A and B are shown apart, each in its own frame.
Chain A
Amino acid sequence: MKRRSFVAAAAALPAVSILSGTARAQSKEIRMIESGGASGDSIQKGYIDPLFKKTGIKVVRESPSSLGKLRALVESGQTSTTLFELGSGIVLQAKKLGLIEKVDWAAVNPAAMFPEAKNEYGFGYQYFSTIMAWRKGVKEPQNFTEFFDSKAFPGKRCLPDYPHYCLPFALQATGVPIDKLFPLDVDTAFKKLNEVKKDVAVWWKAGAQPPQLMKDNEVQYSICWSGRVVGDPAFGVNFAGGKSDLSFIAVVKGSKPEDKAAAWKLFYEMSLAENQAKAAEVISYTGPSPELDALLPKDKLWQFPTSKQNKAVQYFENAEWWAENGEAVNKKWEAFKLSL
């Protein structure tokens, strides 16, 4: 393509998209990149299947979803992927980097949702917890002070290889209560980790690692994602001091209007309590509807991150603090890892 015609085409592009926007065209198929595994299956069963039944719109899933992939998508100028799953802290980062678009909440017109899930830049679709768990048969810790006390609770530990999952728990072990964790005292947290690092056999990167390592008896105690361990008779769990967090689905920058129109339809399906209950059958994570608890099986309420008894004992992720300080903490984290 000649340079001039390329420029002309580029200039004409917005005009074309405005036209198609006014025509209210709507795609019959959009693509989504999500985090995969059982979580992806829960999106399929809870939201994608009902959407297809009602509207005939297909949503094709891919995984996994890393921020680097999103940056590559946007910088290469492609528009084939419309939806992208991001963690709560990552949404702020992606917004700062200009990688995602605002959600048109008026067009979504969702059912009732918890306010923190209705983000300007994303649909908070899945609450998940990061909690302590252990292999059945060992002494059971009640809080993180006990969890990190290897004299009273002997056994190898498996901790996340991510500072924002590890540091707040280490800080709790020094006696800081969950409502006073932020702003995070990073140095004290690292001091605690330095004391306990000899008991940590594995620092996990993938959520599937800790349950497997506990089953193999390589480690006895883990900090891991709740959905991976609750309901498995091989493990004991405790939500006390755990971290409650929210995963978001965001819209990739530069997505076509007709794809976005389809995305708003999916967001609407995601806001319905009955669909969220279907998703919770696949994985023990919960959606953002205040009416959801009533639809969940009573005997399994203890497994869910948002049920009353669990929500009360956990802290909620402070995404703003991490967006501000994450990179500096990451460098300290790499230095800490070198000292292992």
Chain B
Amino acid sequence: MRTAGRPAPRGPEDDDAMTRSNGFSFIAPLLVLMVVAFNAPIVYMLGLAFWEKGRGFTLEHYEGLAETPVYLRVLGNTMRIALIATIANVVIGYPLAHWMRSLGSRARMFAIALVVLPFWVSILVRTYAWIVVLGNGGLVNRFLQWSGLTDEPVSFLYNELGVTIGMANVLLPFLVLPLFAAMVRIDDRLLQAAASLGAPPRTIFWKVYFPLTLPALAAGALLVFILCLGFYVTPAVLGGGRVPMISNLLDTLINQIPRWEQASAISTILLIVTLLIFAAYRRLDRKASA
């Protein structure tokens, strides 16, 4: 509210300009840090594939990529596993967030704490913990054999199943927290209004509740998917070397061979694919909110 006696009120544009310039000076240090410590090295790294010392511009490394289909197939495999892990995350995470919404405030805090708790444990420890749980002599297999459900131990680890379980576990909070935040914001009166108009619970969920959570679900799933693309530790430990993913290939190219130029070309393609997915999501999002 503007107080009386103030000079002629300024237009909304002035207000905007003011906050914009103030805001800029606040974020300038962060911007500089990002450009110097993050963006510049990335540009340099991406440039490695195009520019060779003493030889100038070259496309040789991209040609090499085209001649070595195996690198692109590893990228394809990475996408597939990222997609599986994302779907697993959605299937587990959505009901979990929905259930958390229905809890009382105390129980809710407790549930959030349980979801966030794994963030405080090193990803390496969490990943190795799965070996204790899912190994041939692990808790689950011992229970299965004790109960007579199986005779032989079930191979949970050192395959795609193990990697999917591990990745879903590590990434669950990234999906659940934004989703839960969106669900809590949904006005209960909307649901009551639908009920008062005679909609059965199933219709209320699919026609009212679910569409309201969809943007957050899509954002969370996209975040999880993009994080999956870059996963390194989990496939390395739980994949037993049998689940080739792009980060592990990049590790070989950067640390062992070392062909940074080739690694840079692959990273560029990975980045482009990720940006395309992001652009597609933005389009969808705009359509959904329009």
Residues of A that sit less than 8 Å from B by CB: 66-69, 71, 161, 200-205, 216-218, 326-327, 330-331, 334-335, 337-338, 340
Contact = CB atoms under 8 A, between A and B. Distances in A.
A334 B249 contact: yes
12 contacts: A66-B255, A202-B241, A217-B136, A218-B136, A326-B257, A327-B259, A331-B70, A337-B242, A337-B244, A338-B74, A338-B244, A340-B244
Nearest to B69: A335
Q: Which 5 A-B pairs have the closest CB atoms?
A: A203-B241, A202-B240, A68-B255, A68-B258, A66-B255
B255 A67 contact: yes
Given A331-B70, A338-B77, A338-B244, A201 B256 contact: no
A67 B257 contact: yes
Interface residues of B, number: 27
Nearest to B138: A216
A303 to B, nearest CB: 27
A331 B68 contact: yes
Interface in B12-48: none
A327 B155 CA distance: 33
A312 B252 CA distance: 33
Contacts of B236: 205
A203 B244 CA distance: 11
Contacts, number: 67
Contacts of B257: 67-68, 326-327, 330
Nearest to B254: A68
Interface in B228-273: 236, 240-242, 244, 249, 252, 254-260
B135 interface: yes
B180 interface: no
B211 interface: no
A202 B77 CA distance: 19
B241 to A, nearest CB: 3
A337 B241 contact: yes
A7 B172 CA distance: 54
B278 interface: no
B71 interface: yes
Given A69-B255, A202-B241, A216-B137, 10 more contacts: A68-B258, A202-B158, A203-B240, A203-B241, A204-B241, A216-B131, A326-B257, A334-B244, A334-B252, A335-B70
B137 A217 contact: yes
B73 interface: yes
Contacts of B73: 335, 338
Nearest to A67: B258
Interface in B130-173: 131, 135-137, 155, 157-158
Contact of B242 (A66, A69, A203, A334): A203
B135 A216 contact: yes
Contacts of B242: 200, 202-203, 337, 340
A203 B74 CA distance: 17
Nearest to A332: B70
A98 to B, nearest CB: 11
Nearest to B67: A331
By CB atoms of chain A within 10 A, which of B77, B256, B260 has the most? B256
Contacts of B68: 331
Nearest to A201: B158
A33 B236 CA distance: 24
A84 to B, nearest CB: 13
Contacts of A205: 236, 241
Given A203-B240, A205-B241, A217-B136, A68 B70 contact: no
Contact of A334 (B70, B136, B157, B240): B70
A217 B259 CA distance: 37
Given A216-B135, A331-B70, A335-B70, A201 B240 contact: yes
A71 B260 contact: yes
A205 B137 CA distance: 22
A323 B107 CA distance: 62
Contacts of B260: 68, 71
A202 B157 CA distance: 9
Contacts of A338: 70, 73-74, 77, 244
Contact of A67 (B70, B74, B256): B256
A330 B158 CA distance: 22
A340 B245 CA distance: 13
Contacts of A67: 255-258
Contacts of A69: 255
A216 B131 CA distance: 10
A11 to B, nearest CB: 19
Contacts of B77: 338
Nearest to B248: A205
